[in-house]
């Protein structure tokens, strides 16, 4: 590229503003496209990006190029798609009508199939699967905080070469993988806790410090591992502990878990799941693209996934306004009953 590449964040919510904001704060040319609420907030306050390790970056409001209209897509060399999974098809249609030939697209979304949806409507353009392993929470007034550790994961491709330096400079190095599906499933196994965190109404660290909640997660993950084994899928190893050992760690006493988990994954005391954010904001969650994926894969292979199906049902009840105050013990009993 003769000049600095233009990076466009399409779907500037918590993840999009954080990743794009760090890129912009460290010299990249970034444009943001988002909904009116976020656009108004960022125009008023700029971007403030922090993380659990103490990073603290700011982009003044005057320097943030953000809007609700997709006009910026026409100049994009790279598009980071960060919309919710349910909006992927609409996003693909918008991109298809505006992107120039050769523009690279990366799906940094939850779930498994968003890049496939994008490829189906963006024929002739490179579309890569990406994964954001860390939690980002909106703090208000343009402040976005990453509350857990992790490195951006992406499908290996030569088209990434012009952008690798910008991500590294932003403190968000791209870890490239030949088998991104295994990485996606590894992330999804962790994200099965999103529903539990939303039902617990607790910070992630506090929820996971309680054995009853961890036992709920172990049930959901154990069920998922059985389904993946039938499907012939082996999740990637994203932590020092092999994926199949994590349910056993979850069942350990609180003191043992606290020691081992601290070495395996750092979590900010205030971090909560994106599903908790969505429920409290009255937005539709992504539970169908997380726990629901386990249910669909189980059905495809002639199996049942009653624990994950029950969690999907409970989140949909909460979306409808029937948000029960659960304890870990009560939900554990409910999930164990669903297995019978």
CB 151 within 8 A of CB 145: no
Q: What is the pLDDT of residue 325?
A: 87
Output the pLDDT for position 278.
92
The reported pLDDT for the residue numbered 263 is: 58
Taking the chain (340 residues) in runs of 10, the rounded mean pLDDT of each run is 85 97 98 97 97 94 97 97 96 96 96 96 94 91 91 96 97 96 94 96 92 96 96 89 86 84 69 90 94 98 98 97 92 95
Contact 276, 198 (CB under 8 A): yes
Q: What would the two tokens of residue 222 be?
A: 């154990």
Strand segments, DSSP code E, in the chain are 6-10, 29-33, 47-51, 56-59, 65-67, 78-81, 104-107, 127-131, 136-140, 143-146, 152-155, 174-177
Integer Cα distance of 106 and 313 in angstroms? 31
The dihedral sign for the CA sequence 126, 184, 114, 303: positive
At 241 the pLDDT is 78
Name which of 114, 147, 148 is nearest 131 in CA terms: 114
pTM of model > 0.85? yes
């Amino acid at each position: 590229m003769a000049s600095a590449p233009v990076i466009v964040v399409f779907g500037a919510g918590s993840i999009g503003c954080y990743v794009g904001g760090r890129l912009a704060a460290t010299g990249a040319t970034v444009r943001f496209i988002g909904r009116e609420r976020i656009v108004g907030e960022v125009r008023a306050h700029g971007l403030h990006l922090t993380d659990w390790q103490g990073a603290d970056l700011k982009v003044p409001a005057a320097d943030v190029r953000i809007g609700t209209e997709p006009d910026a897509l026409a100049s994009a060399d790279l598009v980071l798609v960060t919309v919710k999974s349910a909006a992927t098809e609409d996003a693909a249609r918008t991109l298809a009508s505006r992107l120039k030939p050769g523009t690279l697209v990366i799906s940094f979304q939850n779930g498994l199939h968003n890049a496939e949806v994008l490829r189906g409507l963006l024929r002739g353009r490179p579309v890569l699967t990406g994964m954001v392993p860390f939690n980002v929470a909106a703090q208000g007034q343009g402040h976005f905080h990453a509350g857990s550790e992790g490195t951006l994961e992406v499908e290996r491709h030569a088209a990434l070469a012009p952008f690798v330096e910008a991500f590294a400079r932003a403190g968000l190095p791209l870890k490239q993988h030949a088998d991104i599906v295994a990485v996606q499933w590894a992330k999804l196994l962790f994200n099965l806790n999103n529903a539990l965190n939303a039902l617990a109404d607790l910070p992630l660290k506090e929820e996971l410090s309680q054995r009853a909640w961890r036992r709920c997660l172990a049930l959901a993950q154990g069920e998922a591992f059985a389904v993946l084994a039938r499907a012939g899928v082996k999740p990637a190893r994203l932590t020092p502990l092999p994926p199949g050992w994590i349910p056993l760690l979850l069942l350990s006493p609180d003191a043992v878990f606290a020691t081992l988990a601290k070495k395996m994954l750092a979590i900010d005391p205030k971090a909560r799941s994106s599903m908790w954010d969505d429920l409290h904001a009255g937005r539709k969650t992504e539970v169908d693209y997380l726990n629901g994926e386990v249910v669909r894969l189980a059905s495809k292979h002639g199996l049942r996934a009653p624990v994950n199906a029950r969690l999907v049902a409970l989140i949909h009840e909460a979306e409808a306004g029937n948000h029960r105050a659960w304890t870990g013990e009560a939900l554990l009993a409910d999930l164990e009953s669903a297995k019978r």
